[in-house]
Structure 1
Amino acid sequence: MDISVIGCGYLGAVHAASMAQLGHDVVGIEVDVPKAELLASGTAPFHEPGFETLLKDSLASGRLRFSSDMADAAGSQVHFVCVGTPQKRGEYAADLRYVESATESLTDVLAPGELVVGKSTVPVGTAARLAELVTGKVPGALLAWNPEFLREGFAVQDTLHPDRLVYGLPAGTDGDTARALLDEVYATIVADGTPQVVTDYATAEMVKTAANSFLATKISFINAMAELCEATGADVKQLADAIGYDDRIGRKFLNAGLGFGGGCLPKDIRAFMARAGELGADQALTFLREVDNINMRRRIRMVELAREVCDGSLLGKRIAVLGAAFKPDSDDIRDSPALNVAAQLQLQGATVRVTDPAANENIRRSWPQLEVVETAEEAAHRADAVLVLTEWKQFRELDPVAFGQVVARKAVLDGRQALDRDTWVAAGWSYRALGRRAG
């Protein structure tokens, strides 16, 4: 099929290359000219395992190209809208300017019988409104909503081998036509037996926000238990292991620590709350406010823990921060808990050195006040405390004996339950982690 992908940021670029990998002829439309040129050269503008190889292969096949001109989307049978929906400045609500602008521009080149497919995460009710825009300007064109469920670090896998496909479709024969087109797009994935949920616009929109809200709630639940564990002397890791054996609960997302960040969970749960308020159903989601509050308290507690380890004062103390991306295998520093902690430590008088295997250049651009170094050893040179705040493999596999020769004081704060406490304690380190007894 001929496919266009409107917006080639993280979601759109991966989607475009993946659709070409599935055998379609794809044009990615990106209004940021330098980014479009970078993608066209086969260079990934962000860190994502396996993506650059996929990008180069798709370009080499001749089935993928990039453009900054919306006119190049003309003639495609299916148009995926993949632009961002950031949080509005000073509000909880999602900023829909980019989705609305992209859809409006697309209608200028859209033809009857073509399908617009929204993949962006939007507040419930957006798809119905955009469908009116599309069909009003181009009678005979269709709109569907097909939310994405990408995990950063696994985006290629999640696009080519998703755990489900969700179609939000219009009613009647238009819905049948839209489904047939989507099934053709995803023919290989459908043939693999991937579960499909075929539903209305509102349900499809809510699937993504409900999923993110559930995951955020699970993370904040175990972090609330960590607060209680610190008050009682219990161990949150053993607690999580024990309740995780219950298959109704499961062990995933029960690692207590610094909490969630990034460009999805925080802004999505806030936008969900904001939209519920607009609909007069805000009481249904009041628990998400506490989910958000618990998450933010973890950052404050990590700073407090660092102060405790440094004998009650951060003034003049040298602190190494290992990890800055909001999660491993990513260079995404949006709403990064690690960087928030690093900045607070510095504001309170510490000398902070930060390192991350993928995000260093992003930190230098966005957080110029922080000192960024290339290696864990450089960050930890003569440090009074080492904070592991992103669970990169490189940090999990550090040799505590050799690493202990670099620091001034063997004190480690494990913000992600990433280290083997017994191994580090045996090597002479004092070990602290949120919700766990000191080692």
Structure 2
Amino acid sequence: MKMTVIGCGYLGATHAACMAELGHEVLGIDVDAAKIEALAAGSVPFFEPGLDDVLRRNIAAGRLRFTGDFAEAARFGKVHFIGVGTPQQANSDAADLTHLRTAVRELVGHLRGDHLIVGKSTVPVGTCAEVAEEIAALSRDATIELAWNPEFLREGFAVDDTLRPDRIVVGTDPQTTASTAVGTLTEVYRPIIDDGTPFLTMDWATAELVKVSANAFLATKISFINAISEICEVAGGDVTALADAIGHDARIGRRFLNAGLGFGGGCLPKDIRAFAARAEELGVGSALHLLREVDAVNMRRRAAVVAMAERACDGSVLGRNIAVLGASFKPESDDVRDSPALAVAAQLSLLGARVSVFDPKAAANAARVQPSLRYAESAPDAACGADLVIVATEWAEFVHMAPAELSEVVSRRLIIDARRCLDGAAWTAAGWDYRMVGSAPQGTVAGVRAVPFNMANTSRIPLHP
């Protein structure tokens, strides 16, 4: 099948390459000429494991090419995926749909005949209905149906998540009885469906809500364990052992219960804020007040690690040399959008520390966001002369790093494991002062304040349930 993918950033480039991998003829469209040139040459302008191979293989096979011409896109195929960004608005928590609406206008003006537009971007509920009205007003010699097919990609696993997803969701107009979208998308995804992937059909609003609800739930799960981590830090508990224990409950599960520095990136933070903002617009803001606290807990983790660094440096980081290992918001990604690691590094610098950052893939992107920081060529380079080392992103090379790799270059063998990813016993045995979030400092008494028993406090406690 011939199809186009409009928007060739992280989502669009991945989707275009993977649709070609399924055997379709795909034309990618983007207004960024440099991006189009790079992709056409077989170079992915961001880091995503495995995507380069898929891109080059399908370009060589003649199934995939790229252009900046919307008129060419309109002539090329009858199915058009839109995968543009929907970032947070500059002065609001709401999603900015400028790129989406611009893409729709640019495409629809060139369409003739029957076409299917398929949205993949994450959008607030109600967007489909608004976009459908715009399409109806703009289309002249075309019959255009709109469907929504949200993405569920994890950075670092995007190729696998596209070709072997947990589910495929398709939302269509609940008022349309003669929809062809479901049948068309069934054929688009036929190899994936035949492998047993659930294919779920629903109305527009439900499809829009599926994506933001999934992200909100994952964010809540992460912030929940980080809230428990705050209690463990003062009560003397071990949040990893706790997570392991509750994770054995099949109703809870162990995934996304890793306490640490919290979540970041271009999806979870802005999506939960946009979801809460949209609830306010719909007059049901109280239903998602929970997400405000989820966001607050997440942001507190960054401040907590900075405060932990200050305590480790005898109350102040002013004039101290600090190595921060990691700049991307997660491993196997060069994405530094809303990165907790980079936020910690920047805050320590503002407090007067001399900060050296090393990240295997994200240094260039980090330098564009925080140019005042020093970016090292390796972990030992970053740690040279350091009074404190902070592991802020759980890259495999940090997780498996032997203490001896840094022991001889640091000024002080002091390390904070902000992701709880290191073998603490090994670092301690190597003579390091090892500290991690989610546990009371070693050798200290947990800061639990006992509340004296007072009969006056029992007056409102029922004697029987």
TM-score (norm 2): 0.93
Matches within 5 A, 1:206-285: 206-285=209-288
Match among 383, 388, 391 for residue 394 of structure 2: 391
| Structure 2 residue matching 1:153: 3-state secondary structure | coil
Q: Is the 8 A contact 1:27 1:72 kept in 2?
A: no
Q: For residues 209-265 of structure 1, what are the alpha-carbon distances to aligned partners after superposition, in whole Å with 9 as ceiling and x for unaligned?
A: 000000000000000001111121111111111111111111111111100000000
> What is the distance in 2 between the residues matched to 1:174 and 1:63?
34
- CA positional deviation for 1:422: 1.1
Matches within 5 A, 1:369-380: 369-380=372-383
> What is the distance in 2 between the residues matched to 1:414 and 1:82?
36
2:56 aligned with 1:56:
yes
Q: Is the 8 A contact 1:18 1:54 kept in 2?
A: yes
Match among 292, 295, 303 for residue 292 of structure 1: 295
Match of 1:106 in 2: 107
> What is the distance in 2 between the residues matched to 1:271 and 1:194?
29
Match of 2:449 in 1: none
Amino acid at match of 2:98: R
Matches within 5 A, 1:15-414: 15-75=15-75, 76-138=77-139, 140-171=143-174, 176-414=179-417
> What is the distance in 2 between the residues matched to 1:400 and 1:373?
18
Q: Is the 8 A contact 1:135 1:142 kept in 2?
A: no
Q: For residues 99-140 of structure 1, what are the alpha-carbon distances to aligned partners after superposition, in whole Å with 9 as ceiling and x for unaligned?
A: 011011110122332100000000000011112222343352
In terms of mean alpha carbon deviation, does 173-182 or 409-418 score higher? 173-182
Q: Is the 8 A contact 1:84 1:99 kept in 2?
A: yes
| Structure 2 residue matching 1:27: 3-state secondary structure | strand
In the alignment, structure 1 segments of 5+ residues that lack a partner are none
> What is the distance in 2 between the residues matched to 1:253 and 1:280?
31
Match of 1:10 in 2: 10
Q: Which has the larger radius of gyration?
A: 2
2:432 aligned with 1:429:
yes
- CA positional deviation for 1:402: 3.3
> What is the distance in 2 between the residues matched to 1:165 and 1:175?
21
Q: Is the 8 A contact 2:86 2:96 kept in 1?
A: yes
- Percentage of identical aligned residues: 58
> What is the distance in 2 between the residues matched to 1:212 and 1:171?
24
- CA positional deviation for 1:175: 5.7
* Superposition RMSD in Å: 1.1
Q: For residues 381-424 of structure 1, what are the alpha-carbon distances to aligned partners after superposition, in whole Å with 9 as ceiling and x for unaligned?
A: 11111100000001001101332122111111011111011111
- CA positional deviation for 1:172: 6.2
Match among 417, 422, 435 for residue 419 of structure 1: 422
> What is the distance in 2 between the residues matched to 1:207 and 1:27?
28
In terms of mean alpha carbon deviation, does 341-350 or 399-408 score higher? 399-408
> What is the distance in 1 between the residues matched to 2:247 and 2:323?
32
> What is the distance in 2 between the residues matched to 1:358 and 1:159?
22
In terms of mean alpha carbon deviation, does 164-173 or 27-36 score higher? 164-173
In terms of mean alpha carbon deviation, does 240-249 or 7-16 score higher? 240-249
In terms of mean alpha carbon deviation, does 330-339 or 124-133 score higher? 124-133
| Structure 1 residue matching 2:440: 3-state secondary structure | coil
Q: Is the 8 A contact 2:174 2:204 kept in 1?
A: no
In terms of mean alpha carbon deviation, does 75-84 or 145-154 score higher? 75-84
Amino acid at match of 1:296: M
Q: For residues 56-98 of structure 1, what are the alpha-carbon distances to aligned partners after superposition, in whole Å with 9 as ceiling and x for unaligned?
A: 0111010111001111211312000000000001210000111
Give aligned pairs, total. Answer: 439
TM-score (norm 1): 0.98
Q: For residues 163-184 of structure 1, what are the alpha-carbon distances to aligned partners after superposition, in whole Å with 9 as ceiling and x for unaligned?
A: 1000001236656411011011
Q: For residues 334-385 of structure 1, what are the alpha-carbon distances to aligned partners after superposition, in whole Å with 9 as ceiling and x for unaligned?
A: 0011111001101111110001000011122221111101100000011111
Amino acid at match of 2:106: S
| Structure 2 residue matching 1:113: 3-state secondary structure | strand
Q: Is the 8 A contact 2:326 2:391 kept in 1?
A: yes
Q: Is the 8 A contact 1:360 1:374 kept in 2?
A: no
Q: Is the 8 A contact 1:229 1:235 kept in 2?
A: yes
> What is the distance in 2 between the residues matched to 1:175 and 1:288?
38
* Runs of 4+ off more than 6 Å: none
> What is the distance in 1 between the residues matched to 2:226 and 2:200?
32
> What is the distance in 2 between the residues matched to 1:230 and 1:397?
25
> What is the distance in 2 between the residues matched to 1:125 and 1:274?
13
In terms of mean alpha carbon deviation, does 136-145 or 93-102 score higher? 136-145
